[in-house]
Amino acid sequence: MKINFNTYLVALILMSLFLGCTSSPKKETNFYDLEVEKFSSSVKLLLTDLEFLKKEILKVNANKPSVQRILIEADDKWMKEDLKKASSALERGLRIAKDESALYLRLAHVRLEQGLIKESSAFAERGLLNKNASSWELLLLKIYSAQK
């Protein structure tokens, strides 16, 4: 017996309707939760490859040109391993805009390099609350937030 696509779709819809009537709605999982769950075993591995993460973070730009200028200044200090000044510049950026994921990501990484793991994770968690964050930014933030 051959089942064409339309028959399959109708069956699927009917099955969905039937299931919908008999059981409670299935809970949705946010994209980034899903992604991290999927790759959860790799997360710890990624945290051991800080150079890879750093490279990825440096590719994340700010939306506002003023914050981007601050990011360039902070990245310059970061490259020179002046973590204190890099951190100060990033905090200056946060005072201007609290909705720039690029700042949270860098602060999470800089704090990690400073040996402040709890703070690194806290900055990442804060970044996760940013409504404007892209899926990729959220995924990166989730990696740092997993350090607890």
Partner 1 sequence: MKLSLKLITYVSLIIFLIISIAYISILDSKVVNKLDGVLWTVPAKVYARPLELAEGGKINVDGLKKELEILSYELTKGIPDTPGEFSQSQRSVNIFIRGFGSQEPGLYRLKIENDKIDSIKRKDGISIDLIQLEPLSIGGMFPSHLQDRILLNFSQVPKDLEEMILVVEDRNFYSHKGISLRSIMRAFIKNTRALGIEEGGSTITQQLAKSLFFSPEQTIRRKIKEAIAALLIEIHYSKQEILLAYINDVFIAQSGRRAIHGFGLASQFFFGTDLKNLSLDQKALLVGMLKGPSLYSPINNPDRAKTRRDLVLSLIKNDSLITEEEYLDLKGRSLKVIPPSFKSLSKYPAFNDIVTLDLRKNFDDSDLRTKGLKIITNLDPVVQDYLEESIKDTKLKLKRRYGSQLNGLEGAGIVIDSFSGEVVAAIGSTKPNNYGFNRAINAVRPIGSLVKPFIYLSALQHYSKYNLSTLLDDSKLSVSLPGGKLWEPNNFDKKFHGNIPLHVALSESYNVATTRLGMDLGYSVVQETFTKLGIKKKIPKYPSIFVGSFEMTPLEAIQAYQTIASEGFYSPLNSIRTVESSEDVLSLSYPYKVEQRFRPEPIYLLKFVLKQTFISGTARGFSSRVIEKWKTGGKTGTSDDQRDSWFVGYAGNYLMLVWLGFDDNRKSPLTGRTGALQVWKNFMSRLDPIAYEVRKPSRIRYEWVDAKDGLLSGESCKGSILIPFVEGTEPEMIPQNRKKCRISEESYTAKVLNKIKEAIEVK
Map tokens 């994921």 to a residue: 101
**Residue 109 gets which letter from DSSP?**
H
Those residues with Cβ within 8 angstroms of residue 113's Cβ, 6 or more apart along the chain or in another chain: 50, 83
Instruction: Rule CB under 8 A: choose which of 10, 11, 16, 80 binds partner 1.
Output: 16
The interface with partner 1 within residues 34-93 (CB under 8 A) comprises 63-70, 84-85, 87-88, 91-92
Q: How far is the CB of 7 from partner 1 (least distance, A)?
A: 15
Query: Residues 5-23, buried b or exposed e (16+ Cβ, 10 A)?
Result: eeeeeeeeeeeeeeeeeee
Instruction: Using the minimum distance from each CB to partner 1, give the nearer residue, 29 or 55.
Output: 29
Residues of this chain that bind partner 1 (CB under 8 A): 13, 16-17, 20-21, 25, 27, 29-30, 32-33, 63-70, 84-85, 87-88, 91-92, 94-99, 107, 118-119, 121-123, 125-126, 128-133
